[in-house]
């Protein structure tokens, strides 16, 4: 059709065994699991933990924190990223791990190298749209920042922020560069 141009994007997600992760990535998943135990989720009863590796190599965690007003609920990914920023100022995410499940569940890595199970990618703990935007804002324009999600079977879904958030809106559109502290510190 004249005047019509179609853009297509490929979403790639990889199912990995926990043992296939690097030591740093494994540490991130365990940190997210530990943070999840502290979730304050009396309304949804859905406990989420997240752990961020900053570009300085440090690890920062967060859990979901629900309030009775609901709209003031903090998501785990946001909590972890904000902890990173509270520590370093505006900083770049290298990798983020996300784990979640009902309060009664005890998600854990699958350490059996013979079994890797996932029927649908969406079975993994995926960041909501709100959090995808929050993650992207601290990727400093790097579309290849890694997101690791634990599946109910204890395996790992690996994808990039590009896969989760194609055609994204970020600081670039406003001419802002978080990496330049002089742009954010007055």
Task: Quote the CA–CA distance of 82 and 146 in Å, as a whole number.
Answer: 18
How is residue 131 written in tokens? 């959090």
Specify the 3-state DSSP secondary structure of 159.
Answer: strand
Question: What is the smallest separation between the CB atom of 128 and Zn ion, expressed in angstroms?
Answer: 4
Question: What is the smallest separation between the CB atom of 98 and Zn ion, expressed in angstroms?
Answer: 9
Beta carbon nearer to Zn ion, 164 or 178: 164
Q: Which stretch binds Zn ion (CB under 5 A): 21-29, 75-83, 94-102, 178-186?
A: 75-83
Beta carbon nearer to Zn ion, 19 or 128: 128
Mark residues 78-117: x for contact with Zn ion by CB under 5 A, - for none. Answer: ----------------------------------------
The yes or no reply on residue 131 touching Zn ion (CB under 5 A) is yes
Dihedral angle of Cα 58, 15, 147, 29, to the nearest 10 degrees: -40
How is residue 78 written in tokens? 């946001």
Selected binder of Zn ion within 19, 111, 128, 183 (CB under 5 A): 128
Q: Which stretch binds Zn ion (CB under 5 A): 51-59, 90-98, 128-136, 150-158?
A: 128-136
Q: What is the DSSP string of 47-83?
A: EEEEEEEETTS-EEEEE-B--TTSTTPBPHHHHHHHH
The yes or no reply on residue 129 touching Zn ion (CB under 5 A) is no
Task: Quote the CA–CA distance of 68 and 100 in Å, as a whole number.
Answer: 21
Specify the 3-state DSSP secondary structure of 171.
Answer: helix
Selected binder of Zn ion within 36, 75, 92, 158 (CB under 5 A): 75
| Interface residues toward Zn ion, by CB under 5 A | 75, 128, 130-131
């Amino acid at each position: 059709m004249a005047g019509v141009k179609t853009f297509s994007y490929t979403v790639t997600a990889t199912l990995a065994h926990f043992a296939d992760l690097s030591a740093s990535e494994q540490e991130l998943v365990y940190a997210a699991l530990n943070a999840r135990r502290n979730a304050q989720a009396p309304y949804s009863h859905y406990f989420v933990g997240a752990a961020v590796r900053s570009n300085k190599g440090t690890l920062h965690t967060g859990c979901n924190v629900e309030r009775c007003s609901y709209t003031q609920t903090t998501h785990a990914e946001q909590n972890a990223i904000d902890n990173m920023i509270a520590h370093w100022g505006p900083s770049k995410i290298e990798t983020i791990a996300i784990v979640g499940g009902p309060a009664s569940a005890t998600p854990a890595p699958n350490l059996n190298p013979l079994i890797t199970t996932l029927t649908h990618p969406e079975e993994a703990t995926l960041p909501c749209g709100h959090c995808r935007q929050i993650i992207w804002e601290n990727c400093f324009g790097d579309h290849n920042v890694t997101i690791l999600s634990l599946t109910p079977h204890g395996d790992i879904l690996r994808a990039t922020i590009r896969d989760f958030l194609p055609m994204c809106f970020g600081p670039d559109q406003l001419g802002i560069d978080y990496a330049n502290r002089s742009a954010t510190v007055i």
